[in-house]
A and B are shown apart, each in its own frame.
Chain A
Amino acid sequence: MTAGRLAASLALAVLAATTAACTSSSGDSPAGEARTTLTVGAASSLTDVFEQIATDFTEANPDVIVAFSFAASSALAEQIRGGAPLDVFASAGRTAMEPLVAEGLVTGVADFATNALQIATPPGNPAGVTRLADLPNVSVLVCEKQVPCGVAAMELFERNSLAVSPVSFESDVRSVLTKIEADEADAGIVYVTDVIAAGAKVVGIAIPSDANVTSIYQAAVVAESARADAAARFVAFLTGPQAQAALAAAGFDGAS
């Protein structure tokens, strides 16, 4: 066999293998198992709590495996628009969900949690931030303006007439958190749940509820999903007692 032919055969083999892998990963497995893999695109602020919820869900629904893609809600919305194979979309706030509803790309939207903002400071709070009014005087990190967390942060500043010039607009809330943990900036605007999840790595400064911005978390089934049935079950599970308990434990407020 000449080198050329060998190379061509190898290439074809590789192509065939990858195509096979692609088609078999999603969708139904060979007869006898019938386990579905559900791909959930969720806001990064849901990272830890959704892992817990996934375990609970699979216990209750053994025929479904849940796989996650955590990113900024706006990025996920864009992916869905682009036809990404997501089955469920869990958004941190209405701003990312609404356009998809209008475009008919999602169905069965349900509110499942609310989240409030909190100020996170590095361990020991070196800049001595105690309240919102301190923010204009220190270096602040927020999420990008189109990310729900960023939208909320901007709203927070506006509502409280704060002239804050953030030093950076991070791509998602977890990036903000990581940089605050590393003491790269004096304060970051993140969700209450993020501060809880970070534990001792950051110090949380509460924002009075009358000054705060609430984000309503919504989940929906992606219209193009081939596993709409399983997806709907997941969305329903989110509003059920088990998920709500997990969410509450993580610091989310109820869906009301």
Chain B
Amino acid sequence: MSLDPSVMTTRRTTPIPVGILAAVGVAFLAIPLVGLLLRTPWSRLPELLTSPVATEALRLSLITSISATVLAVLVGVPLAWVLARARVPGRTFIRALVTLPLVLPPVVGGVALLLAFGRRGLVGQYLYDWFGIQLPFSTAGVILAEAFVAMPFLVITVEGALRSADPRFEEAAATLGAKRWTILRRITLPLIGPALLAGTILAWARALGEFGATITFAGNLPGVTQTLPLAVYSALDTDREAAIALSLVLLLASLAVLLLLRDRYLRGGSS
């Protein structure tokens, strides 16, 4: 008598050790968040969130994170295209380079940015000596630092989508008379639309939460470079409750991102 897979039932109960470890994992992630929520000074919240420091930080964070995301998309999508489609030598190296900010500690990234774009930096010295442009301590510096850490998310998501997309649609479009720009605009990009959106949202979330590279490279000045994470850090030793309130804002932003992306995007690949 042979076994018919369609009528076999699998045992769905979780083995106890697996269950315990999983519960530990959930607790590990949930308890800090619950702690944050429990310690939130709900009554003072409106006052804390409308204070000059908070509004400045929020405004700055929004401006810089969105600008950084735009920058990441403008530069990252072509880069992803080159990695996925073009036959340039050293692609593996370029890909490793793109992935680097993902694994590099953000502070190290900030130090690297200083060495490159600081007043005496590799490129920065020319920017300063010739044009009087100084990126550290400027909002532009914040945008640069945030773009540095956020771009890999975008490039990797988009590259993945481009690789798995059927290049023959582009061939079909070519036979119909479409030039390269038209193909990109009407075929390639729309086909990877969902992945592009997911990558953009991820990049934005990363840019919003960036701390180490920002404080090291761009500095900490309310209204100019003090983004929300930096404001939280500064408030920690002076007004704990303000720090918690600002942390709550960041937590809500992260939750919003997760809801926007939903499971299927985070599991990798476009729909």
- Touch A–B, Cβ below 8 Å: yes
**Whole-angstrom distance between the alpha carbons of A223 and B198 in the complex?**
52
The answer to whether B220 touches A4 (Cβ under 8 A) is no
Binding site for B on A (CB under 8 A): 2, 4-5, 7-8, 11, 72, 74-75, 77-78, 139, 141, 144-147, 166-171, 179, 182-185
B120 contacts which of A78, A141, A183 (Cβ < 8 Å)?
A: A183
CB neighbours of A74 from chain B (8 A) = 237-238
The answer to whether B221 touches A171 (Cβ under 8 A) is no
**How far apart are A33's CB and chain B's nearest CB, in angstroms?**
36
CB neighbours of B17 from chain A (8 A) = 2, 4-5, 7-8
A72 contacts which of B134, B215, B237 (Cβ < 8 Å)?
A: B237
**Whole-angstrom distance between the alpha carbons of A118 and B222 in the complex?**
24
Would you call the interface of chain B mostly helix, strand, loop, or mixed? loop
CB neighbours of A146 from chain B (8 A) = 234, 237-238
Total of A-B residue pairs, C-beta within 8 Å: 73
Known: A2-B15, A75-B237. A167 touches B221 (CB 8 A): yes
Known: A7-B21, A167-B221, A171-B220. A185 touches B238 (CB 8 A): no
CB neighbours of A171 from chain B (8 A) = 215, 220, 233
**Whole-angstrom distance between the alpha carbons of A147 and B15 in the complex?**
52
CB neighbours of A182 from chain B (8 A) = 114, 118-120
Q: What residue in chain B is nearest A77 (Cβ atoms)?
A: B237
**How far apart are B116's CB and chain A's nearest CB, in angstroms?**
12
B24 contacts which of A5, A11, A139, A183 (Cβ < 8 Å)?
A: A11
**How far apart are A56's CB and chain B's nearest CB, in angstroms?**
31
Interface string of B100-127 (1 = CB under 8 A from A): 0000000000000010001110000000
Q: List 11 A-B contacts (CB under 8 A).
A: A2-B15, A78-B237, A141-B219, A144-B234, A146-B238, A167-B224, A168-B137, A168-B219, A169-B220, A183-B118, A184-B119
**Whole-angstrom distance between the alpha carbons of A141 and B222 in the complex?**
14
**How far apart are A143's CB and chain B's nearest CB, in angstroms?**
10
Binding site for A on B (CB under 8 A): 15-18, 20-21, 24, 114, 118-120, 134, 136-137, 215, 218-222, 224-226, 233-234, 236-238, 240
**Whole-angstrom distance between the alpha carbons of A8 and B16 in the complex?**
9
Nearest 5 CB-CB pairings of A with B: A168-B219, A8-B17, A167-B137, A4-B17, A4-B15
The answer to whether B221 touches A139 (Cβ under 8 A) is no
The answer to whether A169 touches B221 (Cβ under 8 A) is yes
CB neighbours of A185 from chain B (8 A) = 119, 136-137
**Whole-angstrom distance between the alpha carbons of A150 and B217 in the complex?**
20
Known: A184-B119, A185-B137. A170 touches B219 (CB 8 A): yes
CB neighbours of B222 from chain A (8 A) = 169
**How far apart are B139's CB and chain A's nearest CB, in angstroms?**
12
**How far apart are B248's CB and chain A's nearest CB, in angstroms?**
19
The answer to whether A168 touches B221 (Cβ under 8 A) is yes
**Whole-angstrom distance between the alpha carbons of A78 and B114 in the complex?**
30
CB neighbours of B240 from chain A (8 A) = 78
CB neighbours of B221 from chain A (8 A) = 166-169
The answer to whether A78 touches B236 (Cβ under 8 A) is yes
CB neighbours of B20 from chain A (8 A) = 8
**Whole-angstrom distance between the alpha carbons of A141 and B220 in the complex?**
10
A183 contacts which of B16, B18, B21, B119 (Cβ < 8 Å)?
A: B119
**Whole-angstrom distance between the alpha carbons of A166 and B136 in the complex?**
13
Give the interface centre of B15, B218, B222, B226 by most chain A CB atoms within 10 Å.
Answer: B15
Give the interface centre of A8, A72, A139, A147 by most chain B CB atoms within 10 Å.
Answer: A8
**Whole-angstrom distance between the alpha carbons of A224 and B167 in the complex?**
68
Known: A2-B15, A72-B237, A77-B237. A144 touches B119 (CB 8 A): no
Given pairs A2-B15, A167-B221, A171-B215, 18 additional interface contacts (CB within 8 A):
A4-B17, A5-B17, A7-B17, A7-B21, A8-B20, A8-B21, A72-B237, A139-B134, A144-B234, A146-B234, A167-B224, A168-B137, A168-B219, A168-B221, A183-B119, A183-B120, A184-B114, A184-B119
The answer to whether A7 touches B18 (Cβ under 8 A) is yes
**How far apart are A120's CB and chain B's nearest CB, in angstroms?**
15
**Whole-angstrom distance between the alpha carbons of A132 and B226 in the complex?**
26
Q: What residue in chain B is nearest A73 (Cβ atoms)?
A: B237
Q: What residue in chain A is nearest B125 (Cβ atoms)?
A: A183
**Whole-angstrom distance between the alpha carbons of A49 and B233 in the complex?**
28
